[in-house]
Structure 1
Amino acid sequence: MATRRAETSRESRRLLVEAASGLFAEKGYRQTTVADVADRSGISRGSIPWHFGDKEGLLLAVIEHTFLEMTQSFSERHPAGPDGLAELMEQAEAFARVPTTRLLVSLLADAVEPGSPIHHRYAELHATMRRIFTAWAAQPHVAVRLPDGATPEDFGLVTLSAAVGIYQQWRMAPEGVDLAHAFGALRLFLTAAVSPAGSR
């Protein structure tokens, strides 16, 4: 009986997080009510304080779930060789199209404050993504072709910054930014930066 109750509790929590993720991405955190989450999930409104304490606790659970999925996905991908950068750009574009990415970016201003409850999770996600890009640039056949004075760590930082910038511009003016083309162009620029002069 206890096991069944625990399973029911886990399923209720999963449904609430799933519903909140969609609503926060669609309507925004402030515009979404606890009643909205309960209605979409099919779980009683009283279950939210039971599982999460309050709406902010639910938001933290959504962020934790989203970050876990993203960091696991990036950590599992260590593409090498000449096609590795293309794979990384495809992965970055795919994440840009995930609805909850909109929520994560909208909360970025709060996340940069050291005292924010979500600061450390954002920092961890960014560090993971930088490590993946850095690892690609640190491969011997790539590192020897980095511009003078540039390091694989520089490559990771600049690549992540450019990818986030593309996403922000796409969100602000989707009619003026072709997401696939923009990430493709970023790949071409980065490839050119680490290619021998005669092969560009």
Structure 2
Amino acid sequence: MTTPRATRRAETTQESRRLLITAAAELFAERGYRSTTFEDIAARSGVSRGSIPWHFGNKEGLLAAVVEQVVADLRTGADAPASVDEALRGLVAFTRSPSTGLFITLIAEALEPGSALHKWYADMHAALRDRVRSWVERVGLPDGVGAEELSTVLLGAVMGVHQQWRVAPDAVDLERAYAALGALLRAVGI
């Protein structure tokens, strides 16, 4: 039988874990994985530094938990949009989310030889491609254009535009860039 005290402890443990994952995701997006310390995460989350290895084992375990949460959120995201315009509005909203900041910040570290981030970054991309593919499968595709390939191209365009915007936000207008992408998709019959 579960006691009220055990139930409270379990709830506190889950809340601490959630706070640590949220703080780590924010800090990894802001500073990068390598530059973020347990002390930074503890200060941001309000949870003791000693709780991090207790919950996750090490920093790599915490990264795995962050990425697993982001991938789970992507896989259980909103319903597929009904039109290209609705899909592009969703992409604009997504590019402003903390998750996209995390993807962009971690790419440089993920590309380094032997990086602990490589596998998890590939998993995030796979989840994003799956989500975009679920959108494009609902629209009629021109001959010779497969949903898988179009998903890869769209994700590349979205991530590339977002990366440019993060580097030079005054020089890149996200809404206009995605409106142009929408116009191109409509011009080819998507």
TM-score category of the 2 structures, normalised to the smaller one: 0.7 to 0.9
Report if the CA contact (8 A) 2:74-2:127 is conserved.
Answer: no
Contact 1:24/1:103 (<8 A) preserved = yes
Q: Kindly provide the CA deviation profile for residues 81-133 of structure 1, in whole angstroms up to 9, marking residues without a partner as x.
A: xxx11121112111211134222222224446796554444334433433444
- CA 1:131 to 1:103, structure 2 compared with 1: closer, same or farther past 3 Å? closer
Q: Which residue is 2:140 aligned to?
A: 142
**Bigger RCO of structures 1 and 2 (CA < 8 A, at least 6 apart):** 2
CA distance in 2, matches of 1:160, 1:100: 14
Give aligned pairs, total.
Answer: 186
Q: Is the 8 A contact 1:20 1:62 kept in 2?
A: yes
Instruction: Give the alignment's Cα RMSD to 1 decimal.
Output: 2.6
Report the AA paired with residue 78 of structure 1.
Answer: A
Once residues 55 and 104 of structure 1 are traced to their aligned partners in structure 2, the CA distance between those partners, rounded to angstroms, is: 17
Does the C-alpha gap of structure 1 residues 89 and 57 become closer, same or farther in structure 2, counting only changes over 3 Å? same
What per-residue deviation string (whole Å, max 9, x for no partner) do you get for residues 155-177 of structure 1?
A: 22221211111111111221110
Stretches of structure 1 that go unaligned for 5 or more consecutive residues are 196-200
1:156 alignment partner, one of 151, 154, 165: 151
The TM-score normalised by the length of structure 2 is 0.82
CA contact (8 A) 2:129 2:151 kept: yes
The whole-number CA distance in structure 2 between the counterparts of 1:163 and 1:97 is 11
Identity, in percent, stands at 49
Distance 1:136 1:3, change over 3 A: closer
- TM-score with structure 1 length normalisation? 0.79
Which amino acid in 2 is paired with 1:17? I
Structure 1 residues 1-21: Cα deviation after superposition (integer angstroms, max 9, x where no partner) = 332222211111111112222
Larger of the two Rg values belongs to structure = 1
Say which SS state the counterpart of residue 142 (structure 1) adopts: coil
